[in-house]
A and B are shown apart, each in its own frame.
Chain A
Amino acid sequence: MIESKVVAMLLAGGQGSRLKTLTKKIAKPAVPFGGKYRIIDFALSNAANSGIDDIGILTQYKPYLLNSHIGIGSSWDYDRNMGGLRILPPFTSEDGGRWYTGTANAVYENIDFLDEMNPEYVLILSGDHIYKMDYSQLLVAHKEKGADVSIAVMEVPWEDASRFGIVNVNQENKIVEFEEKPDNPKNNMASMGIYMFNWKELREYLIKDDENPDSDNDFGKNVLPMMLEEGKKMYAWVFDGYWKDVGTVKSYWEANMDLLDPLNTLDLYDKNWRIYTRTRNLPPQYLARGSAVKNALVNEGCYIRGTLRNSILFSDVIIEEEAEVIDSVVHSDCVIEKGAKVYRAVISEGMNVKAGEVIGQKDSEKIYLVSEEGISVE
């Protein structure tokens, strides 16, 4: 991406309230995922791997952990003299303080930042999704089509289509219509919330959108439909790969479990597209005599004496003897004490499952979320 300057704006202020206690203290992009990552690592690593030099991170909801996780961006090589990463929280001005009211508003409030960067293109990303994407391919397509806006879309199962923003296109993939969560979708092409804009155009429409008092200041709901209505050239760019929006505790659990499937398409071991994260520098994991670990992802610092099946352990988890962890996701610094049983659970960071305690049910459809607040079932 040397020829043309792209600035990415990563929306990381979401609460993710349907993740319940997982987002009690942290924003959704900071939720741990896949044994050693946080959700935002995927978008950040994609940006770094795609050769994007400048990125702004828009934070709002409970940002402390997110801020300390990102730091100055060194894990993603964004600690640079020229360009790099900036965290962009809401701020006060002469007119008082304002929170970001929507996705478009968050970018609108940072027009000064973007003016200073003066990019040709602005790439809007969400920090909520798990996927690997080469954004430079999106830019190539955007330029080839001579588009004003390019939107990454993907095919979703027809039965799920009504949960997404659906994009209707003509034969050249030119967008002719948006439908926000339609009851009877005409199409199963869902917008992924990833947009490549020409900055000049975007700037104009952000101001227009801000002047409209009835707008929710949302890209999907307001800005994009307005641009389409006014005849801007918008193209869909079809993405074919693993993508997950972990909206609920159950889909969070499922997305984690996907990683245990040997045929999963989110290949974390691909050395050409690594997912980077802030690491804790812990010693290797230890599996004791008598332990049984099958079909599991285990991270550094874990100490296992018991049984672990179909599960994902984050760092520094201790599983004592005769304890059993099956079909579960266990976050960092948890202890599963002697003889305890954990089935189909998501255990939050730092929890102790007491000796002999039983959590969850083996043959159930439900998922049990364990946190300081107790156990919630979904």
Chain B
Amino acid sequence: MEKCLGIISGANIENNFGALCVHRPVYMLPFAGRYRLIDFSLSNMVNYGIRTVAVYTGEKVRSTMDHVEDGKAWDLNRRFNGLFLFPPVSHGLSAKRTGEIPQYYTTKDFFEQTKEKYVFINHPNILAKVNLTEAFRFFRESDADITFIYKKQQDPFGEYVNTNKMNIGDDGMVLNIGTNLGTEREFNMYLKMGFLKKEVFMKLVKEAIERGESDNLLETILMNKHKYKINSYEFKGHVENIRNLKSFYDANLNLLKKNIARELFYSNGTIFTKTKDEPSTLYTEDSIVQNSLVANGCVIEGTVENSIIFRGVKIKKGAIVKNSIIMQKSEIHENAAVINSIMDKQGIVGEDVRIAGSMLMPFIVEKKQEIRKD
């Protein structure tokens, strides 16, 4: 895998996440009690031996820089190779173009100077612990120019409408990738990840800049699909495709299922994140906690059910938290109730306050928002 560059494409649509993504890109959403979404992508690459990783941060770069730092948590703070953070810049191009392709183009020196011959591109909003060693071997042995990774996704209720649908020929070659309209009970969901030969990648980027038809890499590839050998690799494990508030909420609560938690947290290496040096979590005499994931540094005096509790959260006596995601350092005071809700960092729900959303549309407490009874 040392022959392969890792690329995290952070460009994404943030308006599906409401108040949660006002200050942060989607891949920086707090997840699973102590992580950010990007941790899964970074850790999986590192666990499979990718030693050079470029992160295209998108514009809301501050939370990324604060979290990723120099890549230390992932052992990417190397003197040779390691982590490269690329915030968006628009120099060197006649027109102001800030899309995906222009961002790759403005870092062409990086691609030219690194000695790796292949690139692995992935989107941090899709969580999947793909065995990259096997996928890479498939890519190399099939001598493809590009290998896209997909999952056969069951979708009886049309929850995956608007995700990427991959059409695959009998020979495993990718015919095209479009938008899923929910017409089938099972479809091939493109996981926005794949391997490319670096020379092919560079050629596609340069041609796209010259032609100016698209700033999107996938579109560019599909426009040129007849020139290259593009095949497909099936991933059979669990996938969380986090594309809106509902899927984000569900993905968190899915971690209360043992097999999903085991796979995402433990299979093929653990997930690394920036450590916070919180002490252990203290449960007091009155605490009742059922079917919940709780991070360190919390003090739990109340009742918690079917919830994800992040680091440093305080839940006071008589408070009830149900089917909710409570992010870092939030406080829920005496006799308050928080049901079907997402509390962003450092929110406060005051004494006797009751908030509730529905499981289809969770109530959002914004970052640092205080809700008190007057």
Give A contacts to B, CB under 8 Å: 34-36, 74, 260, 262, 268-269, 274-277, 279, 281-300, 308, 312-313
Contact = CB atoms under 8 A, between A and B. Distances in A.
Nearest to B279: A268
B272 interface: yes
Main secondary structure of the interface of B (DSSP, over half): loop
Given A286-B293, A291-B289, A281 B280 contact: no
Interface of B: 32-34, 72-73, 256, 261, 265-266, 270-273, 275, 277, 279-297, 299, 308-309
A212 B258 CA distance: 66
B270 A282 contact: yes
Main secondary structure of the interface of A (DSSP, over half): loop
A276 B277 contact: yes
Given A269-B297, A269-B299, A289-B290, A36 B279 contact: yes
A274 B266 CA distance: 28
Contacts of B272: 281
A300 B293 CA distance: 10
Contacts of A289: 290-291
B280 A299 contact: yes
Contacts of B266: 283
23 contacts: A268-B279, A277-B277, A281-B73, A281-B270, A283-B32, A283-B265, A283-B271, A284-B308, A284-B309, A285-B294, A286-B256, A286-B261, A286-B293, A287-B290, A287-B291, A287-B294, A291-B290, A294-B285, A295-B284, A297-B282, A297-B283, A300-B296, A312-B280
Contacts of A282: 270
8 residue pairs, one from A and one from B, having the closest CB atoms: A35-B280, A284-B33, A268-B279, A283-B265, A284-B295, A297-B280, A287-B289, A299-B280
Contacts of B299: 269
Contact of B261 (A283, A291, A297): A283
Contacts of A277: 277
Contacts of B34: 283-284, 300
B280 A279 contact: no
A294 B271 contact: no
B252 to A, nearest CB: 11
Looking at A285, A295, A299, A312, the one whose CB has the most chain B CB atoms below 10 A away is A285
A281 B285 contact: no
Nearest to A274: B277
